Amino acid sequence: MQRSSIHQIVRNASGESQPARQLYDVAAIEAVFQQSRERERGLSLLMLSTADGRAVAEDSSLGVDGRRLAAMANSFLTLGETVSRELALSDADYATICTKLGNVVLIRIAADKPLTLTAVASHEVNMAVLLFHARECANRLDAVLRDRAA
């Protein structure tokens, strides 16, 4: 038996799941991203990742490592959700990061398995506009994900 076959058997036996991209209609997700970036040219990154921090799809003009970003973005959103619960507030709808060079919005999408949408825009796009487009993108992604599940 070849080493790659043994590695595959060990991976499957250890419970390691298949790549996140294989579980979703990546072409449909990327089409939603493209539509969002056409509607708002200032969006520099849209990424969908699993709740455990694995990248599903990404549309970016930034030179970032999507795998690392997926893990960090999900952790940040999860922390925001935890802070919200600890303060006895309602569930967090989204989390934001604001900087002088741009802004980030992280939104949880409650599909069959929770997903995280990360949206980034340069400082030319104000936070309200970024939030509007990120929420609109999340709603369209939710519809695409539900269509596939049906």
pLDDT tens digit sequence for 90-100: 888 899 999 99
Q: Is the pLDDT of residue 132 over 70?
A: yes
Predicted pLDDT of residue 12: 41
The percentage of the chain sitting over the pLDDT mark of 90, rounded to a whole number, equals: 66
pLDDT at residue 19 is higher than 50: yes
Q: Is the pTM of this model over 0.85?
A: no
Give the per-residue pLDDT at 148.
Answer: 67
Q: What is the mean pLDDT of residues 65-79?
A: 91
pLDDT at 11: 41
Kindly report the length of the chain.
150
Tell me if residue 35 falls in helix, strand or coil. Answer: helix
Is 3's pLDDT higher than 70? no
Q: What are the C-alpha distances in Å from 83 to residues 36, 101, 131, 134, 140?
A: 30, 26, 20, 22, 27
